[in-house]
Chain A
Amino acid sequence: MANNYVNDEVLVSTQWVAEHLNDPKVRIIESNEDRAIYTQGHIPGAVELDWQVDLQDQTRRDYIDRASFEKLVGSRGIDNNTTVVIYGDKNNWWACYAFWVFKLFGHADCRIMNGGRKRWQLDGREWSSDRVDYPLTSYTAQEQDGSIRSFREQVLKHQQSGKSLVDVRSPEEYCGDRRHMPEYPDEGALRGGHIPGAVNVPWSMAVNDDGTFKSARELTQLYQKTIRLKRHSPIVAYCRIGERSSLTWFVLTYLLGFSKVKNYDGSWLEWGNCVGVPIVKGTSPNGQTAEIPQIAAPI
């Protein structure tokens, strides 16, 4: 059934997944906040990719490098032509995070299962706790795609030239009242607030209670009519560590067809700790501006 998203094919239903469980061209991947959830029960035949242990470098604060990604993906029996379908808990946060990493390394055919674990459960579908192993494959990743990732120097230039920034954290984090998600731990940002000029569109505005994405009409209304983001203007999305903004990046890029959205994965845990970068507090994009000393080299 057509949902009228710009790229309808990237979002698959639980029904589609159920019909492709034994399709050798399709690999289903689960990615969760809590690792043990996959062990407890997953979609039959699905492999796990963990955002912390598998996708992040364990020494540097960064994603794994190209060679490690090739090895990881090959170990899950995925080749360059595999259709990768990703799903998970928490409204597909980590699924979108993993999707973004697959795109970062140039994987062609990636999909998200709409509604993730929640929808699969609500649909009364089967879980399996079987161990899943596929024969090793040889995988060739591309160099990182710089068109979807933003580093802090680029974000600073982007901000200084007045381009669009979307802060997808909760309103409390945006206005600077708190430096972490409600009900989540403080992971150590020294300052609270947001990047000047950033509009606050919490990620959760893009999803329904059952974990699925809002309709094309609702998303267009929100991002293009209310927030007035332009489909072909450069946009940077950020949150606290880049996972919630992966979801917004996915919505803008794939469901609404925006062409120049980047995820700033350093996000607030970098920006809120940087010396000399501009920060404002308050509920408006340019809020109550804190005094920023003029320095020759900002970063």
Chain B
Amino acid sequence: MSVARERLALIVSEFTDLDSREKLELLLDFSNNLAVLPPEHALLASRSEHRVHECQTPVYLQIELDANQKVHLFADIAPEAPTVKGFVAILAGAFDGCSCDEILGMQSNLLEQMGLADVLGILRSRGLRAIQEYIKREIVRAIEKQTLTKERAMRENA
């Protein structure tokens, strides 16, 4: 099993057997643990570019690929949206340091697995699934950007 899948399976098992209230409490724990970005982080400087437009509350996400093509996810989400914040914290923790292919190959049925889809309702769940899809699109964009940069460097060195 891949790293991200293994991490998410562990989280899913934490949610299993909880009642609705406990699921929301656990989600809040994740929400409280979302890493606070350092003020110099690029995401905070150019927020509008990283806005997730599919999402109801202001959500800012940034994908970075390191030299080994591993994914790192940074997020800035208002405290008024703890549900979104908790879900993004789960994804950020699970995806950190994983390969692009691994994340791109994942299904978006996490909410159902955690039993959160029914607790949150149709519209909110749709918003959260859209975030997961947004992350995938941003990964594809980051790969393209990295490829272009490499090609340009090669041309310049040729």
Contact = CB atoms under 8 A, between A and B. Distances in A.
Contact of B82 (A40, A52, A53, A183): A40
A34 B80 contact: yes
B80 A52 contact: no
B24 A184 contact: no
A122 to B, nearest CB: 15
Interface string A10-51: 000000000000000000000001111101100000000010
A198 B138 CA distance: 41
A185 B134 CA distance: 13
Contacts of B120: 35, 52-53
Contacts, number: 54
Contacts of A187: 123
A64 B56 CA distance: 24
Interface string B24-35: 110110010000
Interface in B25-76: 25, 27-28, 31, 53-58
A185 B31 CA distance: 22
B130 interface: yes
A13 B62 CA distance: 42
B118 A36 contact: no
A52 B123 contact: yes
A35 B28 contact: no
A157 interface: no
B111 to A, nearest CB: 13
A39 B127 contact: no
A213 B127 CA distance: 30
Nearest to B25: A39
Interface on chain B toward A: helix, strand, loop, or mixed SS?
helix
B155 interface: no
A131 interface: yes
Contact of B57 (A34, A39, A50, A131): A34
Contacts of B127: 185
B124 interface: yes
A7 interface: no
A297 to B, nearest CB: 31
A39 B124 contact: no
B83 A36 contact: yes
A161 B118 CA distance: 42
Contacts of A212: none
Contacts of A131: 21
A36 B121 contact: no
Contacts of B82: 34, 36-37, 40
Contact of A185 (B24, B53, B86, B118): B53
Interface in B112-144: 118-124, 127, 130
B104 interface: no
A36 B86 contact: yes
B141 to A, nearest CB: 20
A185 B121 contact: no
A37 B83 CA distance: 8
Given A52-B122, A53-B120, A53-B121, A39 B24 contact: yes
Nearest to A61: B122
Interface of B: 21, 24-25, 27-28, 31, 53-58, 80-84, 86, 118-124, 127, 130
